[in-house]
């Protein structure tokens, strides 16, 4: 293959890139390039292989960005219902799991097949990398890893962030942004388990496998969801959610019993069953291993009848205000998303086009927009891809 001119080249065959090509491919020649062996690999592994592809309650409040208003235009004009309707047109059976999370009934591979069908007649080239990009008067010239070249009028960067490098993630999109003098907000692993020092791990590690519903709070954000103890630290949806708000040296506050008036329950138990061991009583409401570990750590012994009101208040407060201080996270290796990215101040919120480089677009995770756990990041991929794709399609 020699040099060829396209109306649009999309770099990245993930959720955002494939969906964008569905709109640009109908209005002129489009090439989608990815260095991976297969398209949509993160879609394939998402949601246990069934892909939590959107959330019906998606709104601007579900996203983190230095400019919280940036997401409003794209999300309002291409909603979860637009994508759900597309999925339905392809006969893909879906279901709502919890909290508005939409999943495929069968397999995430059905979504990938849908996206590949929708992008026709766009061309897809896999296991190809872009080694050089140069701006020209009319667009962009690209040099590819197979020693061929390609040019385009519009260049869409849909390369995602740094999360899960074993899936091929890299900082390529950030390097392109930097090349064209776009500012970047600091990046770090998001929706990721947290880790601890040796002293804390001595208590946490033996609890590996214990899970419970909690409320976690950090830096003004709070989530009610499941927490999971692991041999590396803490995980589970609640921890993944709060990790987006946690920064080094910050504390995370955990309410282990958010649905109980713990003091009243303990006082009633003292009246009705005073001879029961305090650890056994707490084990009525928490997993037994966790209750025993906490009582040992706090030095709680004896029967509940031995506990004064003040002591019960202190126990209640400790159970509802457990303060932990992670030393870090598991990093990009297991992170579901990358926080930060291409600064939105340099992008047009309606079209995702660079304000300073005509024809250059950034969509999806590479942009400084990060959603909560639960399908929000996929919806940002669909919405931002639609915004860029329809804007390009409207150009003559």
pLDDT value of residue 3: 79
**pLDDT attached to residue 168:** 77
Q: What is the helix (H) or strand (E) element at residue 108, kind and residue range?
A: helix 108-118
274 - beta bridge partners?
none
What is the rounded distance in angstroms from the CA atom of residue 298 to the CA atom of residue 105?
Answer: 46
Question: For all residues of the chain together, what is the average pLDDT?
Answer: 96
Q: Provide mean pLDDT across the span 326-352.
A: 97
Burial annotation 225-243 (CB, 10 A radius, 16+ → b, else e): bebbbbebbbbbbbbbbbb
Residue 52 has pLDDT above 50, yes or no: yes
Burial class for 329, CB neighbours closer than 10 Å (0-12, 13-18, 19+): buried
Mean local confidence (pLDDT), 47-73? 97
Query: How far is the C-alpha of 342 from the C-alpha of 331, rounded, in Å?
Result: 20
Which of 71-85, 295-309, 341-355 has the lowest average pLDDT?
295-309
Does the pLDDT at position 1 exceed 70? no
Cα-based angle 9, 14, 20 (whole degrees, multiple of 5): 50
Question: Which whole number is the average pLDDT over 70-76?
Answer: 98
User: By the 8 A CB rule, do 46 and 52 touch?
Assistant: yes
If one compares 273 and 21, the residue with the highest pLDDT of the two is 21
Nearest to 21 by CA among 381, 320, 396: 381
CATH numbers and ranges of domains, the chain? 4-188+338-393 (3.50.50.60), 193-329 (2.40.30.10)
Beta bridge partners of 31: 9, 123
Q: Is the CB of residue 334 less than 8 Å from the CB of residue 284?
A: no
- How do residues 192-230 score in pLDDT, each as one tens digit? 999 999 999 999 999 999 999 999 999 999 999 999 999
Distance (Å, whole) CA 332 – CA 327: 15
Residue 369 pLDDT exceeds 70? yes
- Could you give phi then psi for residue 79, rounded to 5 degrees? -95, 170
Could you tell me which residue, 8 or 169, shows the higher pLDDT? 8
**Nearest of 161, 172, 181, 71 to residue 366 by alpha carbon:** 161
Say what the pLDDT of residue 267 is: 96
- Give yes or no for residue 171 having a pLDDT over 70: yes
> Is residue 237 within 8 Å of 212, Cβ to Cβ?
no
Q: How far apart are CA 87 and CA 111, in angstroms?
A: 8
What is the share, in percent, of the chain residues with pLDDT greater than 90? Answer: 94
Residues contacting residue 395 through CB under 8 Å, at least 6 positions apart: 153, 154
pTM: 0.95
Q: What is the DSSP letter of 353?
A: B
Rounded Cα gap, residues 202 and 165, in angstroms: 30
Q: Residue 27: what pLDDT?
A: 83
The reported pLDDT for the residue numbered 2 is 60
Q: How far apart are CA 9 and CA 142, in angstroms?
A: 9
Convert the pLDDT of each residue in 158-170 to its tens digit: 999 988 887 777 8
Q: CA-CA distances (angstroms) from residue 38 to 14, 88, 116, 127, 168? A: 9, 24, 11, 8, 11
Q: Does residue 88 surpass a pLDDT of 50?
A: yes
Give the Cα separation of 160 and 174 in Å (integer).
9
**Which residue do the tokens 């457990």 mark?**
322
pLDDT at 169: 78
- Which of 172, 132, 240, 149 is CA-nearest to residue 14? 172
Q: How confident is the model at residue 367 (pLDDT cuts 50, 70, 90)?
A: very high
First CA to last CA distance, the chain? 27
Q: What is the DSSP letter of 365?
A: G
Residue 239: which residues within 8 A CB-CB, separation 6 or more?
Answer: 193, 194, 216, 227, 228
Q: Region 374-389: what's the mean pLDDT?
A: 98
* Cα four-point dihedral sign 206, 212, 217, 223: positive
Residue 184: predicted pLDDT? 97
d(CA 142, CA 46): 31
Q: CA-CA distance, 205 to 389, in Å (whole number)?
A: 48
């Amino acid at each position: 293959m020699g040099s060829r001119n396209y109306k649009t080249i999309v770099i990245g065959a993930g959720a955002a890139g494939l969906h964008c090509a569905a709109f640009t491919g109908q209005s002129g020649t489009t090439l989608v390039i990815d260095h991976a062996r297969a398209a949509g690999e993160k879609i394939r592994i998402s949601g246990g292989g069934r892909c939590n592809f959107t959330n019906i309650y998606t709104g601007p409040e579900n996203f983190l960005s230095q400019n919280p208003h940036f997401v409003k235009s794209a999300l309002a004009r291409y909603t979860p219902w637009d994508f759900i309707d597309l999925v339905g047109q392809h006969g893909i059976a879906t279901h709502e799991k919890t909290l508005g999370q939409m999943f495929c009934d069968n397999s995430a591979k059905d979504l990938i097949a849908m996206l590949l069908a929708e992008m026709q007649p766009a061309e897809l080239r896999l296991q190809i990398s872009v080694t050089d990009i140069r701006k020209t008067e009319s667009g962009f010239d690209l040099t590819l890893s197979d020693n061929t070249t390609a040019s385009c009028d519009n260049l869409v960067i849909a390369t995602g962030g740094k999360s899960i490098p074993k899936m091929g993630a890299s900082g390529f999109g950030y390097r392109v942004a930097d090349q064209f003098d776009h500012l970047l907000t600091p990046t770090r692993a998001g929706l990721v388990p947290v880790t601890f020092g040796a002293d804390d791990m001595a208590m946490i590690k033996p609890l590996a496998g214990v899970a419970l519903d909690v409320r976690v709070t950090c830096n003004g954000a709070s989530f009610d969801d499941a927490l999971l103890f692991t041999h590396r630290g803490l995980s589970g949806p609640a921890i993944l959610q709060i990790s987006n708000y946690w920064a080094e040296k910050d504390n995370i506050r955990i309410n282990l019993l958010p649905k109980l008036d713990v003091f009243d329950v303990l006082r009633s138990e003292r009246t009705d069953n005073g001879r029961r061991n305090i650890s056994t009583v707490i084990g009525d409401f928490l997993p037994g291993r966790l209750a025993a570990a906490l009582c040992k750590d706090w030095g709680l012994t004896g029967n509940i009848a031995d506990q004064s009101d003040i002591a019960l208040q202190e126990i209640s407060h400790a159970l509802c205000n457990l303060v932990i201080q992670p030393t870090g996270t598991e990093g990009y290796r297991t992170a579901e998303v990358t926080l930060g990215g291409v600064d939105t101040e340099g992008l047009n919120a309606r079209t995702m086009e660079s304000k300073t480089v005509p024809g250059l677009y950034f969509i999806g995770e590479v942009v400084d927009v990060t959603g909560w756990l639960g399908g929000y990041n996929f919806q940002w991929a669909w919405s931002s891809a639609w915004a860029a794709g329809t804007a390009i399609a409207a150009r003559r």
